[in-house]
Amino acid sequence: MNLLFIADPLESFKPYKDSTYAIMVEAARRGHALSVMLAGDLVWKAEWVVGRTHPVRLTGLSGNGPWFERGAAEWHDLASFDAVAMRTDPPFDQAYLYATWLLEMAERQGARVFNRPRALRDFNEKLAIARYPQFIAPTLVTCHADLIREFLAEQGDIVVKPLNAMGGASVFRLRPDDANLGAILETITRYGRETVMAQRYLPEIKEGDKRILLIAGQPVPYCLARIPAEGETRGNLAAGGTGVARPLAARDWEIARALGPGLHDAGLLLVGLDVIGDCLTEVNVTSPTCFQEITQQTGFNVAGMFMDALEREVGGAA
Confidence (pLDDT) at 246: 98
Q: Is the confidence at residue 235, as pLDDT, over 70?
A: no
Domain stops at, among 61, 94, 122: 122
Q: What is the pLDDT of residues 301-312, one digit of tens each?
A: 999 999 999 999
Domain stops at, among 171, 200, 229: 200
Confidence (pLDDT) at 229: 80
Average pLDDT, the chain: 94
Mean pLDDT of 201-218: 96
CATH number at residue 116: 3.40.50.20
> Do 219 and 173 share a structural domain?
no
Mean pLDDT of 227-234: 76
20 domain-assigned: yes
Name the more confident of 66 and 300: 300
* Global confidence as pTM: 0.93
Domain limits for position 290: 204-312
Confidence (pLDDT) at 237: 72
Q: Is the confidence at residue 318, as pLDDT, over 60?
A: no
Mean pLDDT of 235-242: 73
> Do 227 and 161 share a structural domain?
no
CATH number at residue 191: 3.30.1490.20
Mean pLDDT of 102-129: 97
Name the more confident of 163 and 8: 8
> Do 187 and 105 share a structural domain?
no
CATH number at residue 287: 3.30.470.20
- CA 35/CA 188 separation, integer angstroms: 38
Write out the catalytic residue numbers. Answer: 126, 161, 211, 226, 234, 274, 282, 284
Confidence (pLDDT) at 63: 63
Residue 273 CB-half CA count within 13 A:
33
Mean pLDDT of 208-228: 97
Share of the chain above pLDDT 70, in %: 95
> Do 195 and 104 share a structural domain?
no
- CA 124/CA 283 separation, integer angstroms: 8
78 domain-assigned: yes
Mean pLDDT of 126-138: 97
Most confident of 91-105, 237-251, 304-318: 91-105
Q: How confident is the model at residue 167 (pLDDT cuts 50, 70, 90)?
A: low
Q: How confident is the model at residue 168 (pLDDT cuts 50, 70, 90)?
A: low
> Do 80 and 172 share a structural domain?
no
